[in-house]
């Protein structure tokens, strides 16, 4: 009997989602005779049984579209806002799965989605995931789709900012996304010829950044470009976070752990404006006019790059083959030039971060880029 497959997109939107949906849907339907049902708005859609049939017309003409035709949300099955309360909707998700007689559920998303998918695996569902995020921080895969498009957008922005920085002899600070991983800042910074790149994995010292900029000025360079990952921290801030995490790990009671978790959340909430503070500090330390550009959600939108369309299509069609083989509980990961099937249990809760000795960090140093350390 032909399989019935469910599919949802969860977490932040990004270019390439529709290409993956199309690749999976067309291959599943046309090559393997599967029925494909989409759930709207992430895990909320399967909890509340909001569906759409992904037939030929629905899958046509979406390859180049940004966003996701299914809609998305950051709702978690086990902590979903319902009627002003946080409810565990896992049983409702399981009930919807069985009501539709699904053989498997495919979840497209980032790190949070992998953790939510694992919970559904543990609840007895057949689940397969695809790695989607502009942050490129999903464990066990060299690339996630969405990253290449965001990288191109960030690089183009840096290219454009070069001209205004040169004209006014300014320091231009550019904040890019990436959550707590520095891949987007690292690659966009190198591609855009940034003079300083600040990564979450390498806590910086503001005086070292200022020293690098003053050195450029003394050598006759009239401007500097500083690329900052949104999760970058100073050495003092990183030490504060490390201390809170260590204290939470050693806490004796649930109450103490909750209080320390609340302090960590407060730190990260307040850290959102750190690039503004850094910009002001650099202007004061260098005496040079300094301006800030925060790219924000510009990096998530628009038409996916050719590379993201190709990669997402490849993942989608490979997923159809995995489903046909009835292999479940895995995420499809790019390792080298092959797609591997990694157990979701090995992915969930882990992150792919930039190592301090990564070849791109070394390459940046060799061309004179400062990392603020």
CB 121 within 8 A of CB 344: yes
User: Given the DSSP bridges, would you call strands 196-198 and 224-229 parallel, antiparallel or unpaired?
Assistant: parallel
Q: Token pair for residue 282?
A: 């650099």
Q: Token pair for residue 101?
A: 């007689």
Angle of helix 147-168 relative to helix 306-324, nearest 10 degrees, comes to 160
Q: What totals of helices (H) and strands (E) does the chain contain, helices first?
A: 14, 13
Separation of alpha carbons 234 and 239, rounded Å: 9
Q: What is the set of active-site residues?
A: 135
Q: How many angstroms separate the Cα of 7 from the Cα of each of 172, 249, 311?
A: 42, 37, 18
* Angle, CA of 107, 113 and 116, to the nearest 5°: 95
Residue in 2, 15, 6, 341 with CA at minimum distance from that of residue 150: 15
In the numeric block, the tokens 């809609």 are attached to: 71
Contact partners, residue 16, CB within 8 Å, separation at least 6: 132, 145, 146, 149, 304, 308, 309, 311, 312
Q: Token pair for residue 193?
A: 């010829």
The phi and psi torsions of 172 (rounded to 5 degrees) equal -110, 120
CB 126 within 8 A of CB 103: yes
Helices in 169-221 by DSSP H: which ranges?
Answer: 183-191, 206-218
Q: How many angstroms separate the Cα of 71 from the Cα of each of 52, 60, 130, 296, 301?
A: 11, 17, 16, 20, 14
Contact partners, residue 142, CB within 8 Å, separation at least 6: 333, 334, 335, 336
Separation of alpha carbons 196 and 122, rounded Å: 44
């Amino acid at each position: 009997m032909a399989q019935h497959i469910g599919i949802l997109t969860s977490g932040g939107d990004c270019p390439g989602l529709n290409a993956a949906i199309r690749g999976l849907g067309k291959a599943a339907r046309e090559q393997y005779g599967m029925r494909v049902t989409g759930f709207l708005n992430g895990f909320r859609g399967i909890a509340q049984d909001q569906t759409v049939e992904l037939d030929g017309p629905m899958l046509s003409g979406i390859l180049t579209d940004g966003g996701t035709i299914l809609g998305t949300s950051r709702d978690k099955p086990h902590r979903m806002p319902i009627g002003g309360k946080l409810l565990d909707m896992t049983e409702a998700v399981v009930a919807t799965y069985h009501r539709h007689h699904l053989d498997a559920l495919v979840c497209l998303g980032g790190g949070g989605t992998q953790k939510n998918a694992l919970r559904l695996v543990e609840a007895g569902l057949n689940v397969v995931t695809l790695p989607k995020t502009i942050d490129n921080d999903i464990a066990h895969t060299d690339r996630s789709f969405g990253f290449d498009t965001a990288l191109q957008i960030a690089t183009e922005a840096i290219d454009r900012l070069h001209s205004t920085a040169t004209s006014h002899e300014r320091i231009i600070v550019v904040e890019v996304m990436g959550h707590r991983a520095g891949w987007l800042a690292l690659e966009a910074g190198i591609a855009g010829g940034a003079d300083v790149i600040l990564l979450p994995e390498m806590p910086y010292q503001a005086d070292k950044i200022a020293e690098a900029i003053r050195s450029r000025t003394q050598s006759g360079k009239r401007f500097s470009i500083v690329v900052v990952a949104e999760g970058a921290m100073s050495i003092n801030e990183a030490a504060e976070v490390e201390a809170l995490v260590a204290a939470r790990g050693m806490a004796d009671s649930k109450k103490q752990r909750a209080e320390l978790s609340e302090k960590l959340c407060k730190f990260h909430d307040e850290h959102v404006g750190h690039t503004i503070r850094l910009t002001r500090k650099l202007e004061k330390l260098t005496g040079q006019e300094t301006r800030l550009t925060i790219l924000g959600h510009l990096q998530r939108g628009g038409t996916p790059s050719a590379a993201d369309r190709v990669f997402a299509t490849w993942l989608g069609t490979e997923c159809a083959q995995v489903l046909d083989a009835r292999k479940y509980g895995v995420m499809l990961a790019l390792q080298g030039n092959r797609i591997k099937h990694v157990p979701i249990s090995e992915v969930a809760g882990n992150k792919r971060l930039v190592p301090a000795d990564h070849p791109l960090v070394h390459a940046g140093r060799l061309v004179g880029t400062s990392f603020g350390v």
